[in-house]
C-alpha cells in the first residue's frame, strides 16, 4: 500500500520537477547574495567526500594508538619534573596502560589489544601522533577540533566543505551529523554548526535512533491531503511569483518546497537498514546484545549508506558529552580508566572496523577521506586518588585513511611517556589544511567575510601535512 | 566566499566615473580579491617569477600591458583586451589562471561588469598595495555639516540620476500599511486597519500616512520590534554558552529594559551610557542599573578549570567578549582584531585594545541585588527583627545541645566498639550460614550525614554463597534483581544512578541512594549464604573524594519469602564514622525528658520564624554583573597570550579618534566604575562615528540594507557607504533630535524614497539588481520572529500580554553538569507570545525561528542572514506548531464566507475568483485546516513589498 502510494507520489514530484526545465532544483536556492553557486575546488581533488569519526571525551592516545613502552617500565614512578596541576587537579605517578599493545598488519604498527578489529586496518591508516590542542576543556576543544576555534560561532569543517563544494545529491542534506544514541558531544550542535556561513551549510542531525527533524508527514494527515495541500500551495505561490517578477526569492522558496518533498522520499529510503542483508548486519554488529554497540553499529551502517548516496560530509559520533557520571557517557576516563575503556572500546571497535572494511570493499575509499578525531589526549600519570587520567591538551593522536592518504604510516611523535608532542608537532589547523588539500581546496584561499575579517577554517595558521599524502 | 556568490548583484552597471565611491566599492569587493587570489602569484611585484612582464597589482600595470604589446584591458570594452579572453578560456593554451579550473561564471560576470564600468581602479602605487586604512579613513572623519540637500530624497534622487535611474511611483496604500506595520511593529495590520487606511489615504495620502506612522511609533509593539533588532546588535543571550551552557533565568529584565527604553524614546546616547555604566550612573535605580547587564549578556566560559594558565585564557576571552561587543555595537569598529597584534586593516594599535579592555577589567559575570534605596532599607528593617528572633531560638538550642553533648561524651567513654569502622572500599559482614532468597540493606546514616542514609552511594553490593568456591549470587548476570529508589536522575539517560548499578559487576557507576534508603536484592533461587558486602568507591585501588558519601550505619536482613525478615548484621558494634556519628548513637539516652520537651518546642518555633523570613519578599536580583572596585592591572598580551604579558596600559580611549573627539586617559589605579563612565562618555559625546553607526543601523532595518552594508564594521574590511553624504546627514539629524530615534524613524519612513512602490522594473534592475540605490522599495521576507508572530496573529492566538517578564521556552532544558536543549515537539498555548519573549538560550535548537535565520548568538548579529532552504520548508509545512495554528485559524473561519475571511485575516485582501474556486475544492475534500495550512505556508504571507 505504502509502496504504491509512494510510486504515485514519485510521478507527481517528477512532473513538478520538469517544470523547472531540468535545472537542478538546488540551483534555485538563494541566500543573501543571490543564486547559490559553490565556489568549487581550487585544484584537482583526491577526495570528494569526508567521513569524520569523532570519539568525544578525549580518547586516550596512550591507551589506544600511541604505544609507549617506557610507560610500562616506569609505571608507578613519578613523571620527571614538578608535579603538575591539570584540569581536575593534581597528578600522581606514571600509570601504564591497562592493555598490552600488539603489532598489527604488514607495517607492524603497535596498537592497543583492546581494539582487535581496528588493528586490521592499520596498513591503510596514517596516524598523526603529535597533535596539540589550545584548550584543556572538552567543549572548547571539541569545537576547536571541528571549527579550529575554541569559542562558538565559527563554521564547522563540514559546513566549510558544504559551502566550498556544495551537494552531490540534492535529495539529501549535504552535511549530516550522526549523533550517538547517548546524546550530543560536548558543546552540542556548535560542533556541526554553520557559524556565520548561511544556515543551509549546517550539519543536519540524522541517526538510526533519530530521523531528520520535521521530515515526516504529520501523523493525522493522509498522503492525499498532504499532496493536495502542497499542490494548492504551489499554485498559489506560482501565481504570486508571476505577479511579482524580479523577486528571485519567491521562486527559490517554491523550489525549496519541491526539494523538501523529494527529501521526504529519499531520506527514509536511505535510512531503511532493513534493506541490508543479514551478513552485513552481522559484520557491523547491529544485532549485538550490548545495546550501545548495536546502536552505534546501526549508525555506522547508516553512515555507509549516506556516503554511498553521495552525502558530502558525514560526522559520526561514538559517545556523547560529559556528565556527572564520569567516563560513562564518553571517553573521559578521569577515575576508572580500565572500567571505562572496557565499556567504550567494544562499542567502537567492531562497528567502526566493519564500516571501514565495507567502504573499502565497495570502492568508496577511492572518493571518501576518513578522518578520526578526538579533542585532546590524556595524561600518562594517574589523577591523584584515582585510577584514571586527567586531560592532556599537549599530546594526542588522530588518523586519516582513504582517498589520497598514504596508509601504514605514522607522522609525528610524543615524548617517551606521551606527555607532550615533540616531533613534527601538529595542530587542528594543520589537520584541516590537509583535509581541505585532499578535497582540492587551498586552505588559505577558502575565505568568507564576517564582522571585519575574511575568515578561514584554519584561522591564520596551518600547513598541509605532506608526508601523509599518497 | 560572498564575492563568488553574487552572479547578479550590481552586475552590468552603466559606465560610471571610475573614481566614484560605488565603483571603487565594487572594485574593492568584487575585483581586487579575485586579482589577489587568482593573479598576483605570477603578476605582481610580489611574484616569485613575473610572467609575461605583466603586473596586475596596479592600474599602471595593466595599462602598460605585458610583453605581447597587445592591450590587456580596454576600459568600457570587455570584448577587447587579452585579460578577459584569457580568463574566459577563449584562447587555447592561454587559459588563465593556468592549471586551475575556469573561474566561476559569477566571477567572470563581475570582471566583465567591471571593465564595462570603465575598469575603475584606485590602486595608484605599483610597489605596495594599499591594504589598510589609516586615520584618513572615511568613517573616522568628523561629520559633514553642510549638505547639498535638505531632505533624504534629494540625496537618493541625485545618486539615481547619476545612473539615469529614478524613483518608482508611490506605493499603493494596501502595500504601504503592510510594509509600515511590519517595519514599525513586526505585526500585520488587521483588515479593518487596512480598509480605514485605504479610505484615509485616498482623501489625503500625506496626512493618513503621518497618522499611521505616529500610531505605530506610539504603540508598545514598536519597542518589541525594534528592541529585537537591538538585542541582535548587543549579542543578548540567556545562557552562558561554551561547554556548560547553563541557562540564565534572570537576564530578561535587560530585555524588558531595552523594550521599555525604545518605547519611551530614551535618547540613545543615554541608552549607551547606561549599557556601559548604568550601575554607576543610576545607583539604586534598578531601571537604569539593569542597562549595564549589557556587559554580561554575552557568552563566557564557567567551567571549573584547575589549570592556572587555562584560567587566565578564559578570563581574557571573557573580557574580549566585552571589548568586541562594545566596539561592534556602538563604534562599528572591530577593536577585537587588535587583540593579538596591531589591527591588520584599521589604525588600531594593540595597546588600544588593552586600554579599552582596562575599562572592563573589574567586571565579572553574575547576579546581584537590584533594588531601590527604599526597598533595600525596608527589607533590612523587616528582616532584622526576624533575624534577632531566630538568633535567640538558635542560642537556646545550642545551649541545650551542649548539655546533651557533655552527657553523651561520658556515655560514649564507657562504650566499646570492637569492630573497625565502615570502609568505602569494602564493608563486609561474615554471617552464620543461612538460606536466603531476599537480602535487604537499610541505611540510616552516611559519612555525610549521621541522620539519614539518603544521599549515600553504593557502587556494588555482593552476596556470597557458602561453598568451596563461593559465588557472588547478587550479580545481575546470575539472574538477580536489585530494587531501591534513586536519589538523582538524568532525564536523557534513564539507567544512570539506578539501584541496578549495585549488581552490574562494575565498580564504576554508583547507585545514588534515594528515600527510603533501602536496597533489596532478589535472588533467582534460595541460596546458602555466609557473607554480605558493599562498596562505595569506584574501583578497588584508590580512594577518591568524588565517590560521594559512604553508608555507615546500616542493618542487613534476609528472607525466604520477602515478607518475614531476619536481621543478620548491623553496624552498631563498629567504630563510629565520626564523633558526630557516635553522638547520634547515644543522643536519646543523653537527653532528659525536660530537655527533650523544650527542644520539641523550639523546633517548631524556629520553623515558624524561618517561614516568616521566607515570607519577606526577597529583594529583586538580576544577571547584571558584579564589579570589583580595584581591578587587576592591565597588560598588553603578546600574541593575545595571557602567559606573555608586555607593557602595562592604563584605561584610555582609542587613539584613532583623537583628531575628531577629545581623548581621555585615566590613572592606572582608577576606580572601576570611573573607567566605564569615562568610556561611555567618550563614546557618546561628540563622537562622530557613534552617531554614524546608529543612523546606518536605522537605515539598515528600514530598507533591508544599510548605506554601509556591514553595519558593525566601518573599518577597511567593511563596505563603503553607497551615499556617504546622506549617512552624515542622517547622523546630524539624529544629533539634532537629541539622539531620539523615533523622530529619525519618522523622517525616514515619511520620505518619498521609503513610500515608493516595490514594483519591479527590468531596466532599473539591470543597472542595480538589489536596488541599493533605491529605485524601488526593496521587498523583503519577514524575519524569523515576524513569521512566528504572524502565524499566531493570523490564527487569532497571539497573546500580547503580559509584555515582558520571564521568557517562554521552545525547548526542554536538561542539566547534568552540562546543559542540553531539546526542541519541543508540541508548542503549547503558554508559548503563544511574541517571539522576542522567547528565552534566548545559546546553542539551542528552536524550530521555525532557527530555520528562518534567527542567529545563534555566539556573536553579535548586526545583519541577519536571509536564506531559503528545504529544511525551512519541512519545518513550516510539517511542524505541529503550523498544524496547531492551521487548526486554530480554521476554527476562526465561522462566518458566511470562510474563504473571504481567511484571505482577509491572513493577507488583508479579497481572494480572486481562481483562488476562491481552488480553495473551495481543497476545503470540500480535506476541510478548512488543510487550506489554512497552505495559506500559512504561502509566500505572500511572509513577503512584504
Strand A368-373 relative to strand A49-54, pairing: parallel
CB within 8 Å: B945 and A195: no
Question: What pLDDT was estimated at residue A58?
Answer: 96
Give the mean pLDDT of B857-878: 89
Count Cβ atoms within 10 A of the Cβ of residue B397 and give its class: 0-12 exposed, 13-18 middle, 19 or more buried: middle
Q: How far is CA B667 from the centre of its chain?
A: 35
Of A216, A323, A451, the CB nearest to B490: A323
Q: Which residues 156-175 of A are in CB contact (within 8 Å) with B?
A: 173
A8 touches chain B (CB under 8 A): no
* SS3 category, A125: strand
Same domain assignment for residues B407 and B290: no
Across the interface, do B818 and A323 touch by the CB < 8 Å criterion? yes
pLDDT band at B376 (very low <50, low <70, confident <90, very high): very high
**Cβ of A409 under 8 Å from any chain B Cβ?**
no
CB contact under 8 A, B104 and A137: no
Segments in A373-444 forming alpha helices (H): 428-438
pLDDT band for position B16 (50/70/90)? very low
Which candidate, B105, B151, B95, B142, places its Cα nearest to that of B11? B105
Q: Tens digits of per-residue pLDDT, B239-255?
A: 998 888 999 999 999 99
CB pair distance less than 8 Å for A325 and B496:
yes
Is the model's pLDDT at A401 over the cut of 90? yes
Q: Tens digits of per-residue pLDDT, B489-535?
A: 776 667 789 999 999 888 778 899 999 999 999 999 999 999 999 99
Highest mean pLDDT among A271-285, A326-340, B3-17, B529-543: A271-285
* A173 neighbourhood in chain B, CB within 8 Å: 871
B328 lies in some domain? yes
- A327 touching chain B per CB within 8 A: yes
Is residue B449 located within the same domain as residue B317? Answer: no
Report the run of H or E that residue A185 belongs to, with start and end: none
What is the average pLDDT across B851-863? 88
Domain of A66 in residue numbering reads as 40-215+277-468
Could you tell me the three cell numbers for B614? 521566607
For residue B46, the model assigns a pLDDT of 74
Contact flag A218-B860 (C-beta cutoff 8 Å): no
Residues B360 and B339 in one domain: yes
The average pLDDT across B12-31 equals: 62
- A135 inside 8 A of chain B by CB: yes
Q: Exposure of B545 by Cβ count < 10 A (0-12 exposed, 13-18 middle, 19+ buried)?
A: exposed
Mutate to test the interface with B, among A199, A289, A445 (most CBs of B within 10 A): A199
Highest mean pLDDT among A182-186, B663-667, B852-856: B663-667
Average pLDDT on A397-423 reads 97
Q: Which of B306, B507, B939 sits opposite A85 (nearest CB)?
A: B306
Tens-digit pLDDT profile for residues B731-764? 999 999 999 999 999 999 999 999 999 999 989 9
CA distance B868 to chain A (A): 6
Q: CB-based contact (8 Å) between A212 and chain B?
A: yes
- H helices then E strands: how many in chain A? 11, 21
Rounded average pLDDT over A450-459: 87
Residue B210 lies in a domain: no
B33's torsion region: left (phi>0), alpha (psi -120 to 50) or beta? alpha
C-alpha distances in Å from residue A245, one per residue of B5, B25, B908: 21, 28, 21
Q: B361 and B271, same structural domain?
A: yes
Are B541 and B680 within one domain?
Answer: no
8 Å CB contact of A212 and B542 = no
State whether B868 and A327 contact (CB < 8 Å): no
Please answer yes or no on whether B874 and A387 come within 8 Å at the CB atom: no
- Residue B439, pLDDT above cutoff 80: yes
Backbone angles phi, psi at B186, to 5 degrees: 75, 10
- Kindly list the residues from chain A whose CB atom is less than 8 angstroms away from the CB atom of residue B817: 322-324
Same-domain check for residues B528 and B652? no
Amino acid A188: pLDDT: 85
DSSP H helical ranges for B327-434: 350-360, 373-414
Minimum-distance CB partner of B866 among A31, A212, A244: A31
Which of the four pLDDT bands, split at 50, 70 and 90, describes residue A29?
A: low
Residue B446 resides in a domain: yes
Q: Is A444 on the interface with B (CB under 8 A)?
A: no
Lowest mean pLDDT among A134-138, B15-19, B556-560: B15-19
Contact: A225, B930; criterion CB under 8 Å: yes
pLDDT band for B10, please (50, 70, 90 cuts).
Answer: very low
A186 touches chain B (CB under 8 A): yes
Question: CA-nearest residue of chain B to A186?
Answer: B243
Q: Select the residue from A262, A451, A457, A461 to test the B interface by mutation, using most B Cβ atoms within 10 A.
A: A451
| pLDDT number for residue A16 | 42
Please choose, from the candidates A270, A49, A239, the residue with its C-alpha nearest in 3D space to the C-alpha of residue A161: A49
Residues B91 and B66 in one domain: yes
pLDDT of B258 over the 50 cut: yes
- A30 inside 8 A of chain B by CB: yes
Cross-chain residue pair A232–B543, CB shorter than 8 Å: no
Report, as an integer, the average pLDDT of A154-170.
Answer: 94
- The number of residues in chain A equals 470
Higher pLDDT, B75 or A148: A148
How far apart are the C-alpha atoms of A359 and A47, rounded to whole Å? Answer: 14
Nearest residue on chain B to A240, alpha-carbon basis: B940
In a domain, B464, yes or no: yes
pLDDT band for B383, please (50, 70, 90 cuts): very high
Average pLDDT value for residue range A223-247: 93
Residue A200 belongs to a domain: yes
| Residue of chain B minimizing CA distance to A452 | B717
Cβ count near B385 (within 10 Å): 11
Residues in B touching A325 (Cβ below 8 Å): 490, 493, 496-497, 509
Helix then strand then coil, % of chain A, to nearest 5: 40, 20, 45
The answer on B335 and B311 residing in a single domain is: yes
- CB spacing of A229 vs B1 below 8 angstroms: no
How many whole angstroms separate alpha carbon B857 and alpha carbon B849? 13
Grid look-up 566615473 returns B17
pLDDT in tens, B445-487: 999 999 999 999 999 999 999 999 999 999 999 999 999 999 8
Q: Which residues of A touch B874 (CB under 8 A)?
A: 212-215, 260, 263-264
- Confirm whether A95 is domain-assigned: yes
* Domain contains A16: no
Q: Are B462 and B530 in contact (CB under 8 A)?
A: no
The whole-model pTM stands at 0.79
Of B629, B636, B661, nearest in space to B650 by CA: B636
Residue B110 banded pLDDT, cuts 50, 70, 90: confident
Which residues in chain B touch residue A214, judged by CB atoms under 8 angstroms apart? 847, 871, 874-875, 877-879
The boundaries of the domain holding residue B387 are: 373-415+591-615
B308 contact residues in A (CB cutoff 8 A): 85
Which residues of chain A are within 8 Å of residue B930 when distances are taken between CB atoms?
221, 225, 228-229, 232
Q: Note whether residue B465 is domain-resident.
A: yes
Q: How far apart are CA B175 and CA B182, in angstroms?
A: 11
- The single residue listed with the C-alpha cell 533594588 is B371
Is A158 within 8 Å of A177 (Cβ atoms)?
A: yes
Q: Among candidates B449, B464, B634, which has minimal Cα distance to B533? A: B464
The shortest C-alpha distance from A450 to chain B (Å) reads 9
Shortest distance, CA B840 to any CA of chain A (angstroms): 15
Task: Name the A residues in 260-289 with CB < 8 Å from any B CB.
Answer: 260, 263-264
Same domain, B434 and B351: no
| B241 in any annotated domain | no
User: What SS3 state is found at A215?
Assistant: coil
The length of chain B, given as a count of residues: 945
CA dist B583 and B449 (Å) reads 12
What is the pLDDT, as a whole number, of residue A323?
66
Interhelix angle for B880-892 vs B870-878, to 10°?
50
Quote the mean pLDDT of chain B: 91
**Residue A205: inside a domain, yes or no?**
yes
What pLDDT, on a 0 to 100 scale, did the predictor assign at position A183?
Answer: 85
Q: Where are the alpha helices (DSSP H) in A66-156?
A: 69-73, 138-147
Q: Where are the alpha helices (DSSP H) in B416-468?
A: none
pLDDT reported for residue B493: 67
- The per-residue pLDDT for range A42-52, each reduced to its tens digit, is 999 999 999 99
Is the Cβ of A223 closer than 8 Å to some Cβ of chain B?
no
pLDDT of A286 reads 97
Do the Cβ atoms of B167 and B774 come closer than 8 Å? yes
> Alpha-carbon distance A287 to A300, whole Å?
13
Task: Please determine, for residue A325, whether its predicted confidence score (pLDDT) is greater than 70.
Answer: no
For residues B158-164, average pLDDT: 95
Which residue, chain included where needed, has cell 533565568?
A: B249
Examine the fold and report which residue of B104, B131, B158 is the final residue of a domain before the chain moves on.
Answer: B131
Q: What pLDDT digit, counting tens, does each position of A75-88 carry?
A: 999 999 888 889 88
Task: State how far the Cα of A319 lies from the Cα of A103, in Å rounded to an integer.
Answer: 27
Task: Give yes or no: residues B390 and B473 share one domain.
Answer: no
Distance CA B331, CA B348 (A): 13
Instruction: Give the integer Cα–Cα distance in Å for A9 and A197.
Output: 34
Residue A24 belongs to some domain of the structure = no
Task: Return phi, psi of residue A349, to 5°.
Answer: -65, -65
B140: which residues sit within 8 A by CB, 6+ positions away?
A: B133, B347, B656, B657, B659, B660, B689
Q: What is the pLDDT of residues A137-158, one digit of tens each?
A: 998 999 999 999 988 889 999 9
For residue B832 the three cell numbers come to: 503563544
Q: Among B328, B715, B868, whose Cβ lies nearest the Cβ of A252?
A: B868
Average pLDDT over residues B359-373: 96
Residue B195 lies in a domain: no
Q: How close B556 comes to chain A (CA, Å)?
A: 28
**Cell numbers that stand for B574 in this block:** 563498629
Whether residues A451 and B860 touch (CB distance < 8 A) is answered with: yes
Residue B141 lies in a domain: no
Cβ(B903)–Cβ(B174) under 8 Å?
A: no
3-state secondary structure A260-311: HHHHHHHHHHHHCHHHCCHHHHHHHCCCCCCHHHHHHHHHHHHHHHHHHCCC
Residue A287 belongs to domain with CATH number: 3.40.720.10
> How does pLDDT run across B25-65, given as a tens digit for each residue?
788 778 887 888 888 888 887 777 778 878 888 888 888 88
**Considering CB atoms only, which of B1, B101, B874 is closest to A447?**
B1
Chain B residue with minimum CA distance to A224: B926
Is residue B595 within 8 A of residue B602, CB to CB? The reply is no
Cβ pairs A/B, distance under 8 A: 328
pLDDT score recorded for residue B491: 66
Pick from A43, A232, A249: CB nearest B934: A232
Residues paired with residue A31 on neighbouring β-strands, in sequence order? A34
A185 is written with which cell numbers?
Answer: 558531544
- How many domains does chain A contain in total? 1
The grid coordinates of residue B49 equal 617569477
How far away is chain B from the Cα of A361, in angstroms, using its nearest Cα? 32
Cis peptide before A361 (omega within 30 of 0): no
B-chain residues near A221 (CB < 8 A): 883, 930
ipTM beyond cut 0.85: no
Q: Residues of A with CB below 8 A from B328's CB? A: 451
* Count of other CB atoms within 10 angstroms of residue B789: 27
**What band does A19 get if pLDDT is binned at 50, 70 and 90?**
very low
CA distance A446 to A41: 9
C-alpha cell at B737: 533630535
Min Cα separation A358/chain B (Å): 30
Proportion of chain A above pLDDT 70, given as a percent: 91
Confirm if B588 and B418 have CB atoms less than 8 A apart: no
Does residue B391 share a domain with residue B345?
no
Helix (H, G, I), strand (E, B) or coil at A128: strand
Cβ pair A385:B543 closer than 8 A:
yes
How close, in Å, is residue B541 to chain A by CA atoms? 7
pLDDT at A39: 78
Amino acid at each position: 500500500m505504502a509502496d504504491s502510494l509512494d510510486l504515485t507520489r514519485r510521478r507527481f514530484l517528477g512532473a513538478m520537477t520538469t517544470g523547472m526545465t531540468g535545472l537542478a532544483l538546488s540551483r534555485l536556492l538563494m541566500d543573501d547574495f543571490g543564486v547559490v553557486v559553490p565556489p568549487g575546488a581550487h585544484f584537482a581533488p583526491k577526495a570528494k567526500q569526508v567521513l569524520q569519526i569523532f570519539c568525544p571525551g578525549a580518547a586516550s592516545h596512550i591507551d589506544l594508538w600511541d604505544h609507549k613502552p617506557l610507560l610500562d617500565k616506569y609505571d608507578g614512578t613519578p613523571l620527571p619534573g614538578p608535579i603538575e596541576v591539570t584540569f581536575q587537579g593534581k597528578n600522581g605517578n606514571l600509570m601504564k596502560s591497562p592493555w598490552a599493545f600488539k603489532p598489527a598488519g604488514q607495517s607492524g604498527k603497535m596498537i592497543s589489544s583492546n581494539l582487535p578489529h581496528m588493528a586490521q586496518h592499520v596498513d591503510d591508516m596514517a596516524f598523526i601522533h603529535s597533535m596539540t590542542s589550545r584548550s584543556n576543556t572538552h567543549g572548547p576543544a571539541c569545537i576547536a577540533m571541528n571549527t579550529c576555534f575554541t569559542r562558538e560561532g565559527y563554521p564547522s569543517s563540514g559546513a566549510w566543505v558544504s559551502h566550498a563544494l556544495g551537494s552531490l545529491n540534492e535529495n539529501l542534506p549535504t552535511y549530516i551529523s550522526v549523533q550517538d544514541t547517548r546524546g550530543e558531544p560536548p558543546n552540542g550542535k556548535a560542533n556541526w554548526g554553520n557559524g556565520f556561513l548561511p544556515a543551509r551549510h549546517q550539519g543536519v542531525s540524522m541517526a538510526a535512533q533519530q530521523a531528520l527533524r520535521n521530515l515526516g508527514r504529520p501523523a493525522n494527515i493522509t498522503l492525499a491531503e498532504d499532496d493536495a495541500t502542497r499542490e494548492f500551495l504551489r499554485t498559489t505561490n506560482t501565481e504570486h511569483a508571476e505577479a511579482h517578477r524580479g523577486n528571485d526569492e519567491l521562486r527559490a522558496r517554491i523550489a525549496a518546497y519541491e526539494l523538501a518533498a523529494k527529501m521526504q522520499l529519499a531520506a527514509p529510503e536511505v535510512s531503511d537498514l532493513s534493506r541490508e542483508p543479514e551478513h552485513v548486519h552481522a559484520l557491523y554488529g547491529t544485532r549485538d546484545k550490548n545495546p550501545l554497540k548495536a546502536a552505534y553499529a546501526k549508525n555506522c551502517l547508516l553512515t555507509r549508506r549516506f556516503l554511498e548516496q553521495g552525502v558530502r560530509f558525514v560526522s559520526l559520533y561514538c559517545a556523547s558529552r560529559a556528565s556527572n557520571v564520569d567516563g560513562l557517557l564518553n571517553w573521559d576516563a578521569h577515575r576508572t580508566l580500565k572500567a571505562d575503556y572496557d565499556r567504550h572500546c567494544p562499542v567502537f571497535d567492531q562497528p567502526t572496523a566493519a564500516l571501514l572494511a565495507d567502504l573499502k570493499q565497495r570502492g568508496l575509499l577511492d572518493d571518501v577521506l576518513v578522518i578520526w578525531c578526538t579533542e585532546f589526549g590524556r595524561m600518562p600519570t594517574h589523577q591523584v586518588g584515582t585510577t584514571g587520567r586527567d586531560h592532556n591538551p599537549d599530546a594526542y593522536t588522530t588518523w586519516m585513511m582513504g582517498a589520497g592518504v598514504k596508509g601504514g604510516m605514522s607522522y609525528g611523535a610524543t615524548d617517551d611517556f606521551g606527555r607532550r608532542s615533540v616531533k613534527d608537532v601538529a595542530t587542528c589547523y594543520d589537520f584541516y589544511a590537509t583535509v581541505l588539500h585532499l578535497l582540492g581546496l587551498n586552505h588559505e584561499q577558502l575565505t568568507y567575510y564576517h564582522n571585519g575579517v575574511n575568515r578561514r577554517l584554519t584561522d591564520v595558521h596551518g600547513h598541509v601535512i605532506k608526508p601523509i599524502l599518497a | 566566499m560572498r564575492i563568488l556568490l553574487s552572479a547578479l548583484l550590481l552586475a552590468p552597471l552603466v559606465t560610471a566615473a571610475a573614481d566614484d565611491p560605488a565603483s571603487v566599492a565594487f572594485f574593492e569587493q568584487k575585483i581586487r580579491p579575485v586579482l589577489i587570489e587568482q593573479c598576483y602569484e605570477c603578476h605582481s611585484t610580489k611574484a616569485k617569477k613575473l610572467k609575461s612582464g605583466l603586473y596586475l597589482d596596479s592600474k599602471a600595470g595593466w595599462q602598460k600591458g605585458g610583453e605581447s604589446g597587445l592591450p590587456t584591458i580596454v576600459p568600457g570594452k570587455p570584448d577587447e583586451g587579452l585579460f578577459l579572453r584569457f580568463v574566459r578560456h577563449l584562447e587555447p593554451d592561454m587559459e588563465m589562471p593556468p592549471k586551475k579550473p575556469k573561474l566561476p561564471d559569477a566571477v567572470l560576470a563581475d570582471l566583465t561588469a567591471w571593465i564595462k564600468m570603465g575598469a575603475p581602479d584606485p590602486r595608484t602605487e605599483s610597489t605596495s598595495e594599499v591594504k589598510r586604512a589609516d586615520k584618513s579613513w572615511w568613517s573616522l572623519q568628523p561629520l559633514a555639516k553642510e549638505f547639498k540637500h535638505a531632505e533624504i530624497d534629494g540625496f537618493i534622487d541625485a545618486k539615481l540620476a547619476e545612473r539615469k535611474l529614478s524613483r518608482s511611483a508611490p506605493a499603493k496604500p494596501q502595500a504601504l500599511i503592510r510594509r509600515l506595520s511590519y517595519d514599525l511593529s513586526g505585526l500585520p495590520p488587521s483588515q479593518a486597519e487596512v480598509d480605514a487606511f485605504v479610505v484615509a489615504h485616498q482623501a489625503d495620502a500625506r496626512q493618513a500616512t503621518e497618522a499611521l506612522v505616529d500610531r505605530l511609533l506610539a504603540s508598545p509593539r514598536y519597542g518589541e520590534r525594534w528592541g529585537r533588532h537591538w538585542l541582535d546588535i548587543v549579542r543578548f543571550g540567556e545562557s552562558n554558552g561554551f561547554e556548560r551552557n547553563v541557562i540564565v533565568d534572570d537576564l530578561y529584565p535587560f530585555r524588558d529594559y531595552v523594550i521599555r527604553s525604545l518605547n519611551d524614546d530614551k535618547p540613545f546616547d543615554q541608552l549607551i551610557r547606561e549599557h556601559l555604566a548604568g550601575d554607576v550612573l543610576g545607583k539604586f535605580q534598578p531601571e537604569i542599573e539593569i542597562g549595564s547587564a549589557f556587559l554580561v549578556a554575552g557568552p563566557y566560559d564557567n567551567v571549573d578549570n584547575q589549570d592556572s594558565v587555562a584560567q587566565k585564557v578564559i578570563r581574557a576571552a571573557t573580557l574580549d567578549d566585552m571589548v568586541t561587543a562594545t566596539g561592534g555595537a556602538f563604534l562599528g569598529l572591530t577593536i577585537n582584531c587588535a587583540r593579538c597584534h596591531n589591527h591588520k586593516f584599521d589604525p588600531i594599535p594593540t595597546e588600544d585594545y588593552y586600554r579599552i579592555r582596562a575599562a572592563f577589567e573589574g567586571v565579572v559575570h553574575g547576579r546581584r541585588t537590584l533594588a531601590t534605596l527604599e526597598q533595600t532599607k525596608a527589607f533590612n528593617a523587616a528582616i532584622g527583627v526576624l533575624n534577632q528572633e531566630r538568633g535567640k531560638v538558635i542560642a537556646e538550642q545550642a545551649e541545650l545541645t551542649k548539655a546533651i553533648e557533655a552527657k553523651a561524651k561520658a556515655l560514649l567513654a564507657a562504650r566499646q566498639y570492637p569492630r573497625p569502622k565502615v570502609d568505602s572500599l569494602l564493608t563486609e559482614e561474615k554471617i552464620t550460614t543461612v538460606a536466603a532468597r531476599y537480602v535487604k540493606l537499610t541505611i540510616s546514616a552516611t559519612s555525610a550525614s549521621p541522620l539519614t542514609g539518603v544521599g549515600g552511594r553504593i557502587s556494588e553490593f555482593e552476596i556470597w554463597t557458602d561453598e568451596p568456591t563461593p559465588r557472588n549470587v547478587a550479580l545481575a548476570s546470575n539472574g538477580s534483581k536489585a530494587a531501591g529508589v534513586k536519589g538523582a536522575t538524568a532525564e536523557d539517560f534513564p539507567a544512570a544512578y539506578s539501584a541496578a548499578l549495585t549488581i552490574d559487576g562494575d565498580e564504576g557507576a554508583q547507585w545514588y541512594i534515594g528515600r527510603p534508603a533501602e536496597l533489596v536484592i532478589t535472588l533467582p533461587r534460595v541460596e546458602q549464604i555466609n557473607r554480605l558486602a558493599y562498596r562505595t568507591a569506584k574501583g578497588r585501588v584508590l580512594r577518591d573524594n568524588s565517590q560521594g558519601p559512604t553508608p555507615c550505619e546500616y542493618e542487613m536482613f534476609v528472607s525466604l519469602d520477602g515478607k518475614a525478615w531476619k536481621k543478620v548484621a548491623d553496624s552498631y558494634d563498629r567504630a563510629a564514622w565520626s564523633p558526630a556519628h557516635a553522638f547520634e548513637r547515644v543522643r536519646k539516652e543523653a537527653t532528659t525528658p525536660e530537655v527533650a520537651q523544650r527542644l520539641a518546642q523550639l523546633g517548631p518555633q524556629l520553623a515558624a520564624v524561618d517561614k516568616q523570613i521566607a515570607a519577606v519578599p526577597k529583594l529583586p536580583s538580576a544577571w547584571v554583573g558584579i564589579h570589583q572596585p580595584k581591578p587587576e592591572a592591565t597588560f598588553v598580551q603578546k600574541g593575545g597570550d595571557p602567559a606573555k604579558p608586555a607593557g602595562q596600559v592604563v584605561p584610555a580611549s582609542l587613539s584613532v579618534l583623537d583628531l575628531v573627539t577629545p581623548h581621555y586617559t585615566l590613572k592606572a589605579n582608577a576606580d572601576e566604575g570611573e573607567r566605564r563612565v569615562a568610556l561611555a562618555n567618550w563614546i557618546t559625546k561628540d563622537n562622530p562615528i557613534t552617531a554614524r553607526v546608529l543612523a546606518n543601523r536605522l537605515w539598515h532595518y528600514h530598507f533591508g540594507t544599510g548605506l554601509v552594508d556591514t553595519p558593525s564594521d566601518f573599518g577597511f574590511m567593511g563596505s563603503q557607504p553607497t551615499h556617504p553624504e546622506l549617512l552624515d546627514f542622517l547622523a546630524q539629524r539624529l544629533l539634532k533630535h537629541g539622539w531620539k530615534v523615533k523622530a529619525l524613524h519618522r523622517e525616514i519612513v515619511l520620505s518619498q524614497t521609503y513610500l515608493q512602490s516595490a514594483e519591479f522594473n527590468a531596466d532599473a534592475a539591470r543597472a542595480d539588481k538589489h536596488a541599493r540605490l533605491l529605485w524601488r522599495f526593496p521587498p523583503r521576507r519577514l524575519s524569523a520572529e515576524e513569521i512566528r508572530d504572524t502565524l499566531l496573529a493570523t490564527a487569532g492566538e497571539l497573546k500580547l500580554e503580559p509584555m515582558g517578564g520571564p521568557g517562554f521556552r521552545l525547548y526542554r532544558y536538561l542539566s547534568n553538569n552540562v546543559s542540553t536543549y531539546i526542541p519541543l515537539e508540541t508548542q503549547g498555548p503558554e508559548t503563544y507570545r511574541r517571539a522576542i519573549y522567547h528565552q534566548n538560550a545559546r546553542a539551542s535548537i528552536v524550530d521555525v525561528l532557527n530555520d528562518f535565520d534567527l542567529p545563534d548568538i555566539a556573536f553579535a548579529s548586526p545583519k541577519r542572514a536571509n536564506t531559503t532552504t528545504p529544511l525551512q520548508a519541512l519545518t513550516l509545512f510539517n511542524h505541529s506548531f503550523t498544524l496547531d495554528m492551521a487548526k486554530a485559524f480554521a476554527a476562526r473561519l465561522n462566518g458566511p464566507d470562510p474563504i473571504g475571511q481567511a484571505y482577509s485575516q491572513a493577507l488583508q485582501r479579497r481572494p480572486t475568483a481562481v483562488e476562491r474556486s481552488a480553495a473551495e475544492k481543497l476545503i470540500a475534500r480535506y476541510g478548512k485546516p488543510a487550506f489554512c495550512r497552505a495559506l500559512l505556508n504561502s509566500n505572500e504571507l511572509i513577503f512584504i513589498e
